[in-house]
Structure 1
C-alpha cells in the first residue's frame, strides 16, 4: 500500500493523537521518557513504507556522539515503499503536546499513515516521521536554522546525502536494546526490516559484520537516554 504525503491538520476537537514509533519508541519505557502522558501503548503493523538509516541527525553532533571521520552519524526515517511491511509501536498523546512533538522531530516530514492492529481488528491513522527534503526544512525553519544545525558541522544536506552514510553507533545500539525490551519478535523484525543507506543491507547483516557496536557505551551524561 502506497500512502501519499499531504498537509497535516488536526481537528481542535481531537483530545488525543496517535503517534507511530518505529525505532527506539518500540520500547514503552523509551516512549514514556519522551511522552510521559502517553496512553494505549501497543504494537501495530505499518505497510507501504521502508525503514532506513539514511540521514544525518543534528542532535548526534550536538551531543557529541556522531563520528564524522567514519560517517557514522545516520538516524532513522521511513520512506514510501509499496511492499514495505514491519512492526511499529502506536500510542496516543494529548493534543496539547503536538507542538512539542513537531519541534522535537523538526527535520522530518510528518505524515498521517494507516496502521493495522495486530489482530486485524482495526485500521487507524497515526503521525509518522517520514523522510523529507532540504527545501521543506528550510522553508519551515529558515536558512539560518539549517546552517546552525547542519552547516556548522560541515553538512551541506539532510536528505540529499550522496554515498555511504552509516548509523550512529550509540543510537543504533539504543534502538536494538529498545526493541529487545519489546520482545524477541520485535527485535528480529527491526533487524531484518531496517536498512542502511543502500536500501539493501539489513541492520542484522551490518551488526554481524560490526559486533562492536553493541558494546558501544554512551557517554555517562547520556547513559539513561541511550540505553534502550
Structure 2
C-alpha cells in the first residue's frame, strides 16, 4: 500500500473513490512547508470543455515548496500500489501519464489532523516546469495537450498574469472541502492561493461569488459535484 495526499478534488472521499475505488483509511492531515496554488492550466479542462481561456479561468491546483509555511489541510489515504510507484520509490510511467504535468514527490511529510504528533509521508503532486514537461513528453505532445487550445505555457504563468481558477473545478473542490467539515473547509478557503501567491481563495470568491454558480456540463455532473 502507498499513501496519497490529496489537495483539491481528492479532499472528498466520494470523489477520491472515483479515482481510487480501493482506497482505505480515508482521513485528514496537514502538509507543512508547502503552499496550495491555482497556478497552472490543466489540459483536461480544455478536453472536457470547462476551461474559459478568454477570462483565463483555466487553472488547476498544485502544491509548491514553501519552507516555513504552515501548509494546508489535505486528505490522506492508502491505495494498493498496483502500477503507481516502482520499488525504489520512483513514479511509474502509468502514474506519470495520469498526472503528466506534475512533479510527483513520494516522501512528503504530513501530520495527522487529530494527532499532530503522528507523522508520516505520502505522495504529493507538486509544481514543475515547462522544460521538464517537454523533455519527458516532447513538443508534439505539448501541442496536442495545450498548444492546440491556445496555451503556450503550463508552469510559466507570472504572478501578475491574471490566471484564474477553472470555475467548474473550483466549485467541485469547494464542495469537496465543505463536505469534510469546518477545519478542512476553512483551510481550503484561507490556505489556497491564486497565481499571485497573495490572494486567498476566500477573498477571490467574495469578489466573484458567481463562480460557485457555474455548473458542469450534464455529462460531467457526477465527476464535478464535490
Task: Determine if the TM-score, normalized by the shorter chain, exceeds 0.5.
Answer: yes
Q: 1:200 pairs with 198, 201, 204, which one? A: 198
> Is 1:156 matched up with 2:147?
no
Q: Which shows bigger deviation, 121-130 or 94-103?
A: 94-103
Q: Is the 8 A contact 2:157 2:195 kept in 1?
A: no
How many residues were matched structurally?
213
- Matched residues in 2 for 1:121 and 1:157: separation? 40
Question: 1:50-129 residue pairs with structure 2 within 5 A?
Answer: 50-84=35-69, 85-98=71-84, 99=92, 100-111=94-105, 112-118=107-113, 119-129=115-125
Number of the residue aligned with 2:89: none
| Deviation of the 1:105 alpha carbon | 1.0
The SS at the match of 1:186 is: helix
Structure-1 separation of matches of 2:118 and 2:149:
44
| Aligned counterpart in structure 1 of residue 132 of structure 2, from 136, 140, 144 | 136
Unaligned residue ranges in structure 1 (runs of 5+): 1-15
**Cα gap change, 1:149 to 1:62, in 2 (>3 Å):** same
Structure 2: 5+ residue stretches without partners = 85-91
1:102 Cα offset (Å):
2.9
- What SS does the corresponding residue of 1:82 show, helix, strand or coil? coil
Q: TM-score, normalised by structure 2?
A: 0.91
Give the superposed CA RMSD: 1.1
Offset, 1:101: 3.7
* SS of residue matched to 2:153: coil
Q: TM-score, normalised by structure 1?
A: 0.90
1:5 paired residue number: none
Look up the match of 1:165: 163
CA deviation map 1:58-102 (0-9, x unaligned): 100000100011111010011111132211111111111414443
The aligned residue for residue 184 of structure 1 is 182
Moved more, 99-108 or 202-211: 99-108
Residue by residue, what CA displacement relative to the aligned partner does 1:16-38 show, whole Å, maximum 9, x if unpaired? Answer: 11111011111111111110011
